[in-house]
Structure 1
Amino acid sequence: MLKCLKIVFFLLLVTSAVQAQKIGFVDSEYILNKHPDYKIVQEELKKQATAWKKEAQNLEKEIKEMYNALKAEEVLLTEDMYKERMEDIRQKEKAASNYNTRVFGMNGEYYQKQDELMKPLQSKIFDAIDRVSKRNGIAIMFDKAADLSMIYTNPVHDYSDFVIDELGIDESSVNKEKEAQGTENTTEENK
């Protein structure tokens, strides 16, 4: 009986402790899109990716030109010369494949560059989330944009705008910027 009473008392303590904890969530994707530095990071990453893609396309173009030259001269080449040219083409294809893997593959230069550019911004956002959580007495903060499935979220528990305020992002300037971009896109579409 005493043992059963201890278990009930323990469960009551745990239940009351859990009920006293405050839980909230943020949408890191929403916060990132509101942050002005995110656009700068995206533009820089896009510029670098474009340069890398152009290099990959140049390699593919060289390979195609090598195949075309081989096909045009095929009748004039000896068997050894043909094999030598085919080996050169295979080496170029291998180099192109290695380049694509090195740049765009898993943990490639593209993802390393993305990580390098995003890390300072993510750190700022995480620090702001930490300060908002502590200020509001939040024990557990979820990220709505993460892989964690959130079937229902009550907007009352959304602290994303608090984080945006903590980062010092002026909502009105972000909204004006979006409106200006919308106007530019509409103007370009009408041309």
Structure 2
Amino acid sequence: MKGRIIIFTFLTAILGWSATAQKSFRVGYVDMEYILQNVPQYQQASSQLDAKVQEWRKEVEEKKRQIDGMKAQLDNERALLTKELIQEREEEINYQEEQALDYQQKRFGPNGDYMIQKKQLIRPIQDQVFTAVQEISENRNLDMVFDRTANNGMIYADKEYDISDQVLRSINRAANRRQIESPEEREALEEEEGRTVEQDEKIAEEQQEVQEKRNEREALIAERQRQRDSIKIAKQKELEARRARIIEERQRRIDSIRAIRQQKDSINDN
């Protein structure tokens, strides 16, 4: 609440100064969570950190299970132990609990490994965002840029002032520059960087339409192939059934002839 009051007071002062100076005050904002979710390098590193966190949590749970086991064993054996042994066991349990708590704080405390590595993970992206925001602010003559996800009391913001996609675009372009290996790739990148956000959106829409048409053609081809396969399977089953009937009929004739011969042989023997 205090942070919101400070922001509100600050904005009120700024807007008052703007009105007095007869100057339009231009503000933009970014959605840091949205940006992080769409930066591949961050997602890869975040997945690795999540894997470490799972290991740490398992270790914490294992320590807790061991302590619970020690407590349960003491309760079961308490009647058989001397006062000195009970005290010794309790001291050991207390020590193990302190060690487990220290380990949990080391991993997940305010200054623990998770917070340290999380900050190290975000810092390079924040630096890239800051650089991109500076460039975009200069190009669009923005006076201030806020982070919508920060605790600043921003409960509504018009999409018109959201520059998150432009920041992402700038970050991705910087990453592409580092991966360039040929003059052709450099030329293609320069052409891409010369486009506006609106042009990029139009190209993305056209590419989506092309992809949708391609998907429709592939689906139609797959359906036709399915129908052909279905007809082929039906004919194959019909052929196998006919063949089975012929074999069955042939076997009946053979059995019939064999039965007649056996009957004749039986008569001749008599």
Letter in 2 for 1:25: Y
SS of the aligned residue for 2:144 comes to strand
- Write out per-residue CA displacement over residues 17-62 of structure 1, whole angstroms, 9 at most, x where no aligned residue: 4633422112112111111122113212211111111111111111
Would you say the 8 A contact 2:18–2:25 is kept in 1? no
Higher Rg: 2
Aligned residue pairs: how many? 162
Work out the CA distance in 2 between the residues paired with 1:68 and 1:40: 42
Which structure features the higher share of helix residues?
2
Work out the CA distance in 2 between the residues paired with 1:14 and 1:124: 30
Structure 2 equivalent of residue 118 of structure 1: 122
Structure 2 stretches of 5 or more lacking a match?
1-16, 174-199, 209-270
- Write out per-residue CA displacement over residues 103-162 of structure 1, whole angstroms, 9 at most, x where no aligned residue: 212222211111112111221122111211122211111111111222432222211111
Closer, same or farther: CA 151–65 of 1 in aligned 2, 3 Å: closer
Closer, same or farther: CA 18–92 of 1 in aligned 2, 3 Å: farther
TM normalised by structure 1 equals: 0.75
Matched, 1:48 2:57: no
Pick 1 or 2: higher relative contact order, CA cutoff 8 A, min separation 6: 1
Structure 1 equivalent of residue 12 of structure 2: none
1:138 to 133, 139, 142: 142
1:108 to 108, 112, 126: 112
Closer, same or farther: CA 36–64 of 1 in aligned 2, 3 Å: same
SS of the aligned residue for 1:25 comes to strand
TM normalised by structure 2 equals: 0.54
Identity of aligned residues (%): 32
Closer, same or farther: CA 115–18 of 1 in aligned 2, 3 Å: farther
1:74 to 73, 78, 82: 78
Closer, same or farther: CA 63–143 of 1 in aligned 2, 3 Å: same
Q: Tell me the C-alpha RMSD between the 2 structures.
A: 2.5
